[in-house]
Amino acid sequence: MNQWQIIRWADYHAMPWKNGQGVTQEIMRVDSPNGRDFRWRLSMAEVSSDGDFSSYTGYQRILSILEGDGLQLKIDGRIEPPILTCGIQRFSGDSRVSSALLNGKVRDLNLIYDPRYYGARLQWVTTSPNMPPLRCHASTIILFCHDGEISLTPIGGGESITLNRYDSAVLVTPRPQTHTVDLDGHGHLGVFELTGFDE
């Protein structure tokens, strides 16, 4: 039986941004076999000033806002619509990206992945008691609790998991599989589905 791994907010690893202009709390990453780079990385960071994003050549990025009034990106010279709380922006790590705060600092959630090895998507789910089960199909599933207290019970066997603010639950399988979990409680859940490609 596949087991969910719980990663608590207090256990995330702090590390400097690639451009040295801030600090990231790394939630989880999968390194490449050579150990010099990664296949994907999920992290969150506080952005307290306008500035340029780090370049991640060859990668794709998915960005969402957790706290604050929002962020506006300029991508390759084009000003994008503001990203508000739980909004989602996808862009290439090759792009020239700068950000402007709408009204004070924000905290963001950021997935960076290598599209040669993974496909990825993010959706936000508002949880409530007695809601339908959550169904996911991927080789890596990450459930990120934005707020509230959310209980997850795998259908088909497995212990219930309770996530609080900014905690994560991760399930990794050798191949893409379908997994279903019952959700209970009130809050917002970020659902990341990463599908690994055959090499």
- Write out pLDDT tens, residues 4-53: 999 999 999 888 777 666 778 999 999 988 878 899 999 999 998 898 99
Q: Which CATH number fits domain 7-113: 2.40.100.10, 2.60.120.10, 2.130.10.10, 3.30.420.40?
A: 2.60.120.10
- Write out pLDDT tens, residues 77-101: 999 999 999 999 999 999 999 999 9
Q: What is the percent of the chain with per-residue pLDDT over 90, rounded to a whole number?
A: 75
The yes or no reply on domain 117-196 and CATH 2.60.120.10 is: yes
Which token pair is 136? 């996911």
pLDDT interval class at 1 (50, 70, 90) = very low
Rounded Cα distance between 99 and 82, Å, is 10
Sorted by sequence, the CB contacts under 8 Å of residue 20 that are 6+ apart come out as none
- Across the chain, what does the average pLDDT equal? 91
